[in-house]
Amino acid sequence: MNKLPELSDIIKAQSRLKGIVKETPLEHTKSFSSMSGANVFMKLENMQSTGSFKVRGAYNKLSCMSGEELARGVVCASAGNHAQGVAYAANSKGVKATVFMPVFTPPLKVIATRAYGADVVMQGNTFDDAFAAAMEFREQSGATFVHPFDDPHIIAGQGTIGLEIFHQLDTIDDVLVPIGGGGMIAGIAIALKEMNPDIRIIGVEAEGAQSMRLSMKEGKPNTLKSMNTIADGIAVKTPGQLNFEATRKYVDELLTVSDAEIAHTTYLLLQRAKLLAEPSGVAALAAVLHKKTDLIGRNVVPVISGGNVNMGILEQILEKGMMDERLRARIAVLIPDMAGELKGIISILENIRANINEISHERSITSVPVGYVMVTITFNLQDTSQLETIRKTLDDKLLKYDILS
């Protein structure tokens, strides 16, 4: 039976990964330190090869496999990041890789996985469906299965993040790590706790996918009946047995963040730090910025675990972020359905130099009287005071309108 890796295993993994993966930056952020009251250093695994930390574990696993196992090829199941890590590692070693991905997987992740040379099979609506299909393929083909998290070599590879953090920052108080299946937090926790037991390790799950919290409560790995979160990279119904054991032994605290908090943090990371990350990748930072535990005055390291974002989700996040900060607004104005009326509304926006993003018209809904049209205008603002100017002008003209959120 597999057992948890030791610190020595993680140090060996680091040697195997030298020249293959990047030592990612640990970047201090004044903006987020000011917002949170902590001294925040971001570990930027979104800048890793393949766009996430997963390549560390995948390459270490393949490096520890026998020639016979490699000759049979490898197979894995993944919603994206593990797939790319395995495909990259297999390509580096000249090994055939077959990857099973759920049908909802963002197209860019599928394209990237194929670009690394893997055969991609789209099957099932969830990771668990893809996992079952991969296991069936393993039985039929004899290919070696590369588990995304519940494997000592995978855990040791992810643990190299902890070694890097330890050598990049002299004084570490807290390290916050996103949790899906638990491979990354297991490796990081083993590495850091063995070197300095005083470092607090804090896991962060999405509210809609709290499998590790449920498992800790039940005292054994437990399976969620359902999940609902935009953070697809950490949406795992059942944590690994090894990962559960490591979490129970080494992790000091488990936190959760909502999808709204994740989305807002993704927006802030891009706006303030000019860094693009996927929703699952910002979960740890979201816990810091939304003050889920007391971190005031402490040296805090949230791991930004990946940057392979679904562009459709990103578009929604940016739209909502701009609306929340009142840098974009949407108004619905009821005007007579006559020539020149719309021009009058547009001139109000032009006068304050608001940039119109979109205009739509609606005449057929029952709330619009005959002879009128509901015009909905989305526009960008230069500062938040402009919206009040627009509101006052519309009031002065006695127009019926709504500011839409």
Smallest CA-to-CA distance from 97 within 111, 109, 114 is with 114
> Can you list the alpha helix ranges (DSSP code H) found in 252-340?
259-273, 283-289, 311-324
Distance CA(253)–CA(262), nearest Å, equals 19
Point out the catalytic residue in the list 54, 61, 193, 237: 54
CA 291/CA 273 separation, integer angstroms = 19
Whether residue 305 lies in the annotated active site: yes
Residue 159: Cβ within 10 Å count: 33
Report d(CA 290, CA 37) in Å as an integer.
Answer: 11
Residues in contact with 19: Cβ distance below 8 Å, sequence separation at least 6, in sequence order: none
Can you tell me the distance from the alpha carbon of 371 to that of 384, in angstroms, rounded to the nearest whole number? 33
Please check whether residue 23 is in contact with residue 56, taking contact to mean a CB–CB distance below 8 angstroms: no
- Laid out side by side, the sheet with 400-404 consists of 355-362, 372-380, 328-336, 400-404
Residues classed as catalytic = 54, 305
